[in-house]
Amino acid sequence: MYLHACIAKLGVAEWADGTAMFYWLRTPGYESPEFVRPLAEAVTSSAVGVTLFTWSVLALEFALALARLMPSELRRVLLVAGLVFHVGIAVVLELVTFGLAMSGALLLYLLPVGHQVRLPASVVAQLRASRSASR
């Protein structure tokens, strides 16, 4: 999925020349929410900033595509980077469902087989309390 996304983007002039994020974050109807807009505008107002931002998406997608071939230490780094990336998509582009779905897919893709994700104790306690209250 990540390899396809990266290669497909390279066929689009704005991704190849490094300006895609400028258009994504400044097109009416697609611009980021008010609380993120100053940062998005600061990054996309600089040629270096927008190019690095655009190409970092491509580099991360390519790295994620190859992640299963990498040592486990590097996979962990890519897992965190990928989760931050998808949370960023959810917040900045307001594509929450996509961000959540892709975060789940990324966990399935990069967590070791048999690994169990442990929720924080406070979350477990809250889930148990809400389950008890509903009975």
Q: What is the pLDDT of residues 31-87, one digit of tens each?
A: 888 898 899 899 999 999 999 999 999 999 999 999 999 998 899 999 999 999 999
Q: Which of 52, 39, 87 is nearest to 31 (CA)?
A: 39
Sequence-ordered alpha helix ranges (H) in 17-95: 20-26, 37-44, 47-65, 72-92
pLDDT of residue 8: 96
User: How far separated are the first and last CA of the chain, in Å rounded?
Assistant: 42
Model-level pTM?
Answer: 0.79
- CA 78/CA 80 separation, integer angstroms: 5
Q: CA 60, 64, 69 angle in degrees (round to 5)?
A: 135
Contact status, residue 14 vs residue 20, Cβ threshold 8 Å = yes
Residue ranges of domains in the chain:
2-134
Evaluated on CA atoms 43, 46, 49, 55, the torsion sign reads positive
Contact status, residue 53 vs residue 93, Cβ threshold 8 Å = no
Q: What is the pLDDT of residues 85-119, one digit of tens each?
A: 999 999 988 899 999 999 999 998 998 766 666 77
DSSP state of 111: S
